Amino acid sequence: MFRWVSKSGIFIQVAVYAALLAILWISAFVNALPVVTSPADGPLFTAFACWLKAFPIFSVSIALALVVLQSIIIYFVFKANGFFGRRNFLPAIILVLAYSWNTEYQALHALLPANLFLIIALYAMMVMYGRQAAFHQVFTSSFAIGIASLFYIPSAYMLLMIWFSFITYRVSTWREYVISVIGFSLPYLYFASWLFWNENLLEGFNLFISALFIMPNFERLTVIEIVWFSYTGFALIFAILTVLNIMGDKLISLRRRAWVLFNFSFCALIAVLLTGCHIIPGNSIFVVPFSFFVTGSLVLMKRPLWAEIICAAALLLFIFMRIYPLI
């Protein structure tokens, strides 16, 4: 079914995309939820949450706008890098599904704006390949991650993605590493200056450190949530192994950029495991690599029978996750 959608015309794919948005998000507007907060929220998101706390409808509207914006950007990012062709809107469809599995998080939460900047960071790292002295791309990527971590603090771990990607691209000079640290630190320089001006520097530093290192607490998950995370984790691992194996026969530029997305996934796993008590909102950090690898397993394989079966089972589980709260 997913492969049929990917091979249909762009107008059919966009129609499916629009229908899913309407079906999955109309209930969020009917029963609008306030901003979703957690101890891992950064100072920028906390400020927005204070402003929007009394306006649930604005929370849902901004959340939907960010989901739509990210899905469209992801479509153009993958299209620009030549992964799936010019008329494949399936990554955007999968991203919408990945954001919409839990009705309690169909409102503004910290990872929605954070992921927007992580996509910018990812794109900058992918276009870096093949360029000499790509200092501008390194700075853009690290600066975007710095801003993302001011919305969702565990996003700071994504700085490792840049360093792992340097290994992938075989960058051996020290300048890129220094520039990445400078770019990442710059948003914090402004933030620290604001804290110092308001005499809250030590409190702000302690808050940041406490959100970075939290022991996982999986007792907070229900049985159905454990099943969902386990199965989607299995589907993602299957898709990663499948796509990376297929990429072995592709152009070296595509192989290296696919490994950058693997680096993204690995660093996202580090961020989630080290902030385990926020695993439900933290799961959203995987939506970008999930949309890429699942699409790749369906589109790039000549006979994607197992990929279709796994995705069909995931879709049935998704439908159950949406219906279960109503039972």
- Listed range (53-67, 79-93, 205-219, 256-270) with the worst mean pLDDT: 205-219
Integer Cα distance of 20 and 8 in angstroms: 16
Across the strands, what pairs with 275?
214
- What is the pLDDT confidence band of residue 86, given thresholds at 50, 70 and 90? confident
Instruction: Tell me if 112 sits within 8 A of 148, measured CB to CB.
Output: no
Q: 284 is in which domain, residue-wise?
A: 2-326
What digits encode the pLDDT tens for the residues 4-47? Answer: 666 677 788 888 899 999 999 998 888 888 888 887 888 888 88
What digits encode the pLDDT tens for the residues 252-296? Answer: 888 888 999 999 999 998 888 877 656 666 678 899 999 999 998
What percentage of the chain carries pLDDT values higher than 70?
A: 87
What digits encode the pLDDT tens for the residues 204-222? Answer: 666 666 666 665 555 567 7
Integer Cα distance of 225 and 246 in angstroms: 31
Within 13 Å of residue 302, how many CA atoms lie on the same side as its CB? Answer: 2
**pLDDT (0 to 100) of residue 307:** 82
**pLDDT (0 to 100) of residue 216:** 58
**CB under 8 Å to 14, separation ≥6 — which residues?**
89
H or E segment to which residue 300 belongs: none
Closest C-alpha to 94, from 228, 308, 291 = 291
Number of domains in the chain: 1
Integer Cα distance of 313 and 181 in angstroms: 42
**pLDDT (0 to 100) of residue 8:** 72
- What is the pLDDT confidence band of residue 67, given thresholds at 50, 70 and 90? very high
